[in-house]
Amino acid sequence: MERKLEEWRRRLEEARRIREEHADWSFIQRQPQPLKAALLYYIKTGDIRIAARIAQQPIARFRELLREANIPTVS
């Protein structure tokens, strides 16, 4: 059980690192709130549903915003 939990943590951290490395930070900084906050939340957590809610956007539109910001959807 402990080994599986550690593996899960490692994968989540790797996904966050990939999102951070690929993100277009200049684009993100130019976004108005709440879009900027939602993008930052998604980069940190990977939770697209809550991030879309923060952005006050449907998930499909938020996915477009992720593409514009060059943020990969890593699972």
- Domain holding 23, by residue range, is 2-68
Is 45 domain-assigned?
yes
Report how far residue 30's alpha carbon sits from residue 35's, in angstroms, rounded to the nearest whole number: 10
Q: Is there a contact between 6 and 61 (Cβ–Cβ < 8 Å)?
A: no
- Is the pTM of the predicted complex or chain greater than 0.85? yes
Is 38 domain-assigned?
yes
Per-residue pLDDT tens over the stretch 25-60: 999 999 999 999 999 999 999 999 999 999 999 999
Cβ count near 51 (within 10 Å): 26
Number of domains in the chain: 1
Looking at the chain, which runs of residues are DSSP E strands? none
Is 74 domain-assigned?
no
